[in-house]
Structure 1
């Protein structure tokens, strides 16, 4: 048995356990075992009945407000178990400070965490607080409402329906996020070459409507991960990375991120993948397993989520991850998801390897996909190109190492290297 985030050992009863009581009451239930040393060895407590009374008195006298807890005794081992339950009247203070667990240590909360505890104890979300400005404009939101829902004009009644006012009839932070101008961070997108030291393109979107951020991110995606392919007389759009998956991942990042701190949503674009890092970790009450399986138990930003839902940019009931996975049905490479305390990471792999080559040369690579070995004449026929144009493209690709050549003269064939 080892100490962990929800388990602490105390060899004897001293005031040091009270910080951990505050941490468990603030951020999730946990156990404190008295009569166990730091290595997990049972040493017992001499007078367990008196020790229980001391523990109870210390908690009642020192933690404000009073947390919920229970005490039990193992008379055989002389170990006392203190179960502390997560409370509803947060924050819980010990000597005027609130605490949280960091792995096996108990540390004081920072000002952002303390604000979140205060909001949670008041049954409020950060987005519901007043934004400090009543001079907001919503031209981009109105444009999207007209395009998607056919709304003729954005009225005050619609803003109220969206929940953009607080109890004092002031614009809240959710309203500011959809306003044309605001003070919030947004999305930082960078397109890399073969390594992060090769930055090919970069765009940062901040201080503008989250809807505009979303649209601009999609536009940058389209520049580098979509192209037109002609089959006979038909022209069709081809996704190197599925657009549906990218849209879902960006929408989820905007809807579920924390907005009470300044980090950007970071979207890193590589030839073979897109990585999306959203600040804030998972919403409270949602486990990693529930997130991966597509279940939402608690929305961090319900007002923002509601607007995205009404504009058909997300599904309200937490199906975003499922929809990302569906976009990769049958694909060899699958998306991956990673969760930490401070961020959520989504990696969207390319369906096939992408190539830093011209559009014409890319078409040759498409013909040779799936392991095909073809002659220059066969390639020319498939592309409806002249023989000279085809040979020029093949020579360029061969010199660059993208394709390999086998045979001589008319028997020469080409395949992907």
Structure 2
């Protein structure tokens, strides 16, 4: 979601290669769609409605806002206006008491047309290059050479994809947005809207793409197309020469994500952490980003097998990459580049990925808490590598105030009598002995937790309740 301060900064910097302002006080300017097309064909960008060419905030009429938003969404999904169509929701932002609409247009892996014309972008604005064969050819070459996910397999049929996964996708997007267009589309319409079925106007090829096969293909189809495809999840703590546990994953990207996150849950701790009075999973926030990055930004044509290795003091994820630079990424000044925009957009629609760039910042923020102040490392090269430090003794909230917060949450949880297993799970602790000696027994001795069966402390039916609850009520 665009924060008003971020949008103010974009407006202050003015129009340029990736920024365009449109007034649109009571209706949409006709050239808005030309800019959308140009941004899709070039580097993506920001379109702000309710701002004039000089950067003055003029605002959108409140009465006209619902119709403008409806017209935008309808037009962007209409192949007669934008082809291939684009699913995107404009975001409403209030600045200085005025209403603006913000559109974040991604760089596309395809060449788009606006009302039959091809537009490109430079510092001076949108360019109609339809009648300039060299410029059009350059666009196609740049798109095809950049994104192997667009490789077309004309002999792949709908029956080679898993219809149960397509149905699952409908449920996932509906959970993110009950009005998502994919929820009511048939299979062919959904796949076309997701850009998983394409037509190459240079070669005449038409069909399902590598992205479609990776996301939704049957296992045997994936292995036929990419025999080297796999993600190797490895636990290596005791047997350093081989492994202690392993999952050799050779399935679609949706279920690959499920299996990698299950491997994380099986072998990595999830310490108790409160954020704004709500318990969140630091582990899942961190490794959701790591796993997603492995799956959506990999160069799949490269035969290098992706690896996810859990060691004694760190987790290392590495995958083949088409680099936009070399060396360690600095989160304060890095520029994110889409490696597989179709796959990335698909993951975003089903709720498995954030806006490009935001996930990296979250990764840094949460890793510092999870790992006792240590930063992750993101290394860009032909092999992209993420290293997340994991310190066994790390306690994410080690300050006295944080400890008090944990205990307060536990006591609130135990207003109703709870078993030892329930309390331990609530605290995110696996070591039963540590839990009894360091947490449960001290709380009982301090008179903060009470036994429901005080005469039989070792009873299998024993439960514990806090001093917040009246013992006579038990």
Confirm whether residue 202 of structure 1 aligns to residue 246 of structure 2. yes
**What TM-score comes out, normalization by structure 2 length?**
0.46
Per the alignment, in what secondary structure is the counterpart of residue 367 of structure 2?
coil
Note closer, same or farther for the CA distance 1:281–1:173 as it changes in structure 2 (3 Å cut).
closer
Is 1:262 the counterpart of 2:303 in the alignment?
yes
Structure 2 match to 1:335: 375
Contact 1:226 1:237 in 2 (8 A): no
- The verdict on how the C-alpha distance between 1:253 and 1:347 changes in structure 2, with shifts beyond 3 A counting, is same
- 1:215 deviates by 1.2
Paired position in structure 2 for 1:301: 340
- 2:300, 2:165 → 1: CA distance? 20
SS in 1 for 2:291: helix
1:133 aligns with 2:139: no
Pairing 1:274–2:315 present: yes
Q: Which runs of 5+ in 2 are unaligned?
A: 1-139, 176-182, 200-204, 273-277, 395-428, 459-474
Distance 1:179 1:157 in 2: 15
User: Against the structure 1 CA distance between its residues 281 and 163, is the aligned structure 2 distance closer, same or farther, given a 3 Å change threshold?
Assistant: closer
Instruction: Answer whether contact 1:192 1:270 (CA < 8 A) is retained.
Output: yes
- Say yes or no: does 1:166 pair with 2:189: no
Offset from partner CA, 1:48-71 (integer Å, 9 cap, x none): xxxxxxxxxxxxxxxxxxxxxxxx
1:290, 1:296 within 8 Å by CA — same for their partners in 2? no
Q: Determine if contact 1:271/1:353 at 8 Å carries over to the other structure.
A: no
Residue of structure 1 in register with 2:187 after alignment: 155
CA shift, 1:311, in A, is: 1.6
Q: What is the CA RMSD across the aligned residues, in angstroms?
A: 3.9
Q: Distance in 2 between matches of 1:366 and 1:237?
A: 21
Are residues 366 and 209 of structure 1, via their aligned partners in 2, closer, same or farther at CA, if it must alter by over 3 Å? Answer: farther
**Structure-1-length-normalised TM-score:** 0.52
SS of the residue corresponding to residue 276 of structure 1 reads strand
Uncovered stretches (5+) of structure 1, i.e. residues with no partner: 1-117, 230-235, 368-375, 391-417
What residue is the counterpart of 2:25 in the other structure? none
* SS, match of residue 245 in structure 1: helix
Native 8 Å contact 2:234 2:244 kept in 1: yes
Q: How far apart are 1:335 and its partner, in Å?
A: 3.5
Number of aligned residue pairs: give it. 256
Distance 1:294 1:381, change over 3 A: farther
> Aligned-pair distance for 1:165?
1.5
Shift of residue 125, structure 1, vs aligned partner = 1.9
- The 5 Å alignment of 1:65-84 reads none
User: Is the contact made by 1:364 and 1:379 (CA closer than 8 Å) also made in structure 2?
Assistant: no
Higher Rg:
1
